Amino acid sequence: MTRSSWRRAGDLAVTGTFAVLTVVGALAGVREGGDPARAAGSAAAELLSIAVLMMRRRYPLPVLAAVTVCGVAAAMTADRTVIGPLLPAFALYTVATVSSWRVTAVAATAVVAAYGAGALIGQGLVGFVAAAVILAIAAAIGLYVGEHRRLLERAETEQELLAGQAVLAERVWIARELHDAIGHHVSLLVVQAGAVRTTLPGDHPAWPVLTAMIDGGREAMTEMRRLVDVLRPTDGDDGGELGPPPGLADLPELCDRLRAGGLPIDVHIDVHMEPGRTAGITAYRIVQEALTNVVKHAGQVATRVDISSTAQQLDLRVTNTRPAAAPAEVSSGGHGLDSIRRRAALFGGEVFAGPVPGGGYALRATLLHREP
């Protein structure tokens, strides 16, 4: 059964019980010598209240007003009542579960005043006190139940938000991997194919093949850039890393691949304090992106990678020895340096990039020793 089915079943059980108690009370009052007409009038008013209660979830305040009026009539005419103020108390409970304490306080005051007056007339001071206590208890329980429901709904909403953030984090990771990993290899292949093509005459049989490789690589980079733009969040939020991406220990292998591709590169790693897992991943990606920019913008020039650490931070430096030229083969769309800055900012670090005296270009990024 669904939740709404259980609610309907519960409402039918409660109203059915009230109806039985109303009839039993009226018959008991007549059997004990009460006025049949007064008993019938009181029972009719209470049965009408029970019928109105079926709409309490949809119209809580109007139902409370109608049940209170019928309850006052029943309290004033009955010689004896079994359910007494239970019907207006039930309606007041419903109002309290969906309203603020101010609205509940006003409604409870009005119901106590109206029903209490009827009970005072029909049943005396004892009836008034009993009605006031029952109504106050119903209002208090309703406020508690309503607040509990709202807390549960808030917790469910927060869980949905956390799930959405997890999805966003995965999307950001995909965007990073597309740009930093795939883009690194594709752009390197395009640059190398272009370098080979420049060494061949225009009528060489390999010229069309190399041209197709370059054009295909450019098209692949363009498509990948579109995917990155779609997946990258627009509000500046960042996500976490997923899966087993590489770290500092994998940098020599990365440099070996670039060296095999024709880039003269030296690597010096002097790290006394091993960074955390996320910091190692971030450092790898920053160096990878910086080396990709060297290949794309400066070509096969002498490059040096220096990684060192202090007690406070991890220092990453990538320097080439020739002024950077304008990109000749591939354009990264401006995501490269922006990606480096985003990653460094996660660790409270900074990025400095620009030409160096004597010719060349350098990039330095710092990462504090803390997990973001």
Q: Which domains does the chain have, with CATH numbers?
A: 3-159 (no CATH), 247-372 (3.30.565.10)
Phi, psi of 321 (to 5 degrees): -105, 15
Q: What angle do CA 359, 364, 367 make, to 5 degrees?
A: 175
Helix (H) or strand (E) holding 366: strand 361-368
The verdict on pTM exceeding 0.75 is no
Whole-number pLDDT of residue 179: 64
Flag whether pLDDT at 232 surpasses 60.
no
The Cα–Cα gap between 360 and 299 comes to 12
% of the chain with per-residue pLDDT over 70: 79
Read off the pLDDT band of 230 (50, 70, 90).
low
Whole-number pLDDT of residue 214: 79
Q: Which residue has the tokens 């083969």?
A: 329
For residue 365, list its beta bridge partners.
Answer: 316, 351
The Cα–Cα gap between 104 and 145 comes to 13
Whole-number pLDDT of residue 295: 80
Cβ atoms of 174 and 231 closer than 8 Å: yes
Say whether 213 sits in a helix, a strand or coil: helix
For residue 315, list its beta bridge partners.
Answer: 308, 366
Tens-place pLDDT, residues 111-137: 888 887 777 776 677 778 888 888 899
Q: Which of 291, 351, 357, 342 is nearest to 318 (CA)?
A: 291
State both tokens at 169: 């984090």
State both tokens at 248: 């500092």
The CB density around residue 97, as the number of other CB atoms within 10 Å, is: 21
Flag whether pLDDT at 235 surpasses 60.
no
Burial class (CB in 10 A: 0-12, 13-18, 19+), 26: buried
% of the chain with per-residue pLDDT over 90: 7
Tens-place pLDDT, residues 312-349: 888 999 998 865 443 333 344 445 688 788 888 888 88
Flag whether pLDDT at 169 surpasses 80.
no
Q: What angle do CA 219, 222, 228 make, to 5 degrees?
A: 145
Flag whether pLDDT at 177 surpasses 70.
no
Whole-number pLDDT of residue 240: 43
The Cα–Cα gap between 222 and 228 comes to 10
Flag whether pLDDT at 239 surpasses 50.
no
Tens-place pLDDT, residues 281-322: 888 889 988 888 888 777 788 899 999 988 888 899 999 886
Flag whether pLDDT at 237 surpasses 70.
no
The Cα–Cα gap between 79 and 26 comes to 9
Flag whether pLDDT at 168 surpasses 70.
no
Flag whether pLDDT at 144 surpasses 70.
yes
Whole-number pLDDT of residue 197: 82
33 phi-psi bin (left φ>0, alpha ψ -120 to 50, beta other): left
